[in-house]
Amino acid sequence: MTKVGPTAEHLIETEVGGDISLYDPTSERVVVLNATASDIWRLCDGEQTLDEVIDLIAKAYDQRPDEIRPHVTTTIEQFREEGFLVS
């Protein structure tokens, strides 16, 4: 299955209060991720498939994978739309 990520190399990433903030120098945009999106982002390293990311997030948040799947899928789609992921 297709792996999620890795993240785009041109992004500048910083952690603020435990959450991830991203700066895209090409568009000069800043995106501040909430706690869940930050955890999803950390798993977008090109090593996990979408199902693996969903399983890991489900375990971390003590949820069933089918409950959390729509949220994780939408978040990863948004990362891709923003050009934050290589694949």
Partner 1 sequence: MSDLVRVVDARYELLDTPFRVASNDEAVGPLLNELLGHFASRRAARSANTLVIRQPDERRPQFSLFRDCQTVYRGEERQGAVVALLAELNRRAIESFDTFAAHAAVIEIGGRAIAMPAESGHGKTTLTAAAVMSGFGYLSDEALCIDPQNQRVRPYSRPLLLSDHSRDLLGIESVVVRSAQEGAVVPSDLGRVVTDELPLEHVVFPEYGHDAATLEPVGAGVVMAELLKMSFNNYKDPKGAFELIASVAGRVKGWRLTYGDPFEASALMAAELG
Q: Which of 6, 10, 32, 59 binds partner 1 (CB under 8 A)?
A: 32
CA dihedral for 40, 42, 48, 52, sign (positive or negative):
negative
Q: Which of 9, 18, 64, 66 binds partner 1 (CB under 8 A)?
A: 18
Instruction: Report helix, strand or coil for 13.
Output: strand
- Spatial separation of the C-alpha atoms in residues 12 and 30, rounded to whole Å: 9
Between residues 21 and 48, which has the closer beta carbon with respect to partner 1? 21
CA dihedral for 39, 7, 14, 30, sign (positive or negative):
negative
Q: Which of 21, 48, 73, 78 binds partner 1 (CB under 8 A)?
A: 21
Q: Which of 1, 2, 14, 62 binds partner 1 (CB under 8 A)?
A: 14
Does 19 help bind partner 1 (rule: CB under 8 A)?
Answer: yes
CA dihedral for 36, 41, 42, 43, sign (positive or negative):
positive
Residues at the interface with partner 1 (CB under 8 A): 12, 14-19, 21, 23, 25, 28, 30, 32-34
